[in-house]
């Protein structure tokens, strides 16, 4: 492995280049992806937020994105069922 700053050879287990002092093996922080009921509830109560969170977090936090998207989907399907119910109810009163 070589240093990206000065080009000198660096051992694989080293974190810092001995020639120039540049950080070689930079460790990225891990993102917690727990999913959770709270994100699903938020997506259910405010479906547009759940949809946006699903689209934004789909690659970085797939479990949390799935929870928010599933909450939004359930809310959307619930509203469709409510509308269909009231249309059928209104049609039954017209006779």
Q: 64-83, pLDDT tens digit by residue?
A: 999 999 999 999 999 999 99
Q: 18-61, pLDDT tens digit by residue?
A: 889 888 877 777 778 888 899 999 999 999 999 999 999 999 89
d(CA 44, CA 68): 8
C-alpha gyration radius of the chain: 26
d(CA 41, CA 56): 17
d(CA 64, CA 44): 14
Q: Give residue limits of the domains in the chain.
A: 1-30, 37-93
- 95 CB-contact burial (10 Å; exposed 0-12 / middle 13-18 / buried 19+): exposed
Residue 7 banded pLDDT, cuts 50, 70, 90: confident
């Amino acid at each position: 492995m070589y240093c990206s700053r000065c080009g000198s050879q660096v051992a694989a287990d080293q974190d810092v280049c001995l020639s120039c002092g540049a950080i070689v093996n930079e460790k990225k922080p891990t993102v917690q992806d727990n999913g959770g009921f709270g994100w699903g509830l938020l997506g259910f109560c405010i479906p547009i937020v759940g949809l946006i969170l699903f689209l934004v977090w789909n690659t970085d936090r797939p479990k949390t994105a799935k929870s928010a998207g599933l909450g939004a989907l359930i809310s959307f399907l619930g509203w469709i069922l409510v509308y269909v119910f009231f249309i059928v109810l209104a049609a039954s009163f017209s006779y």
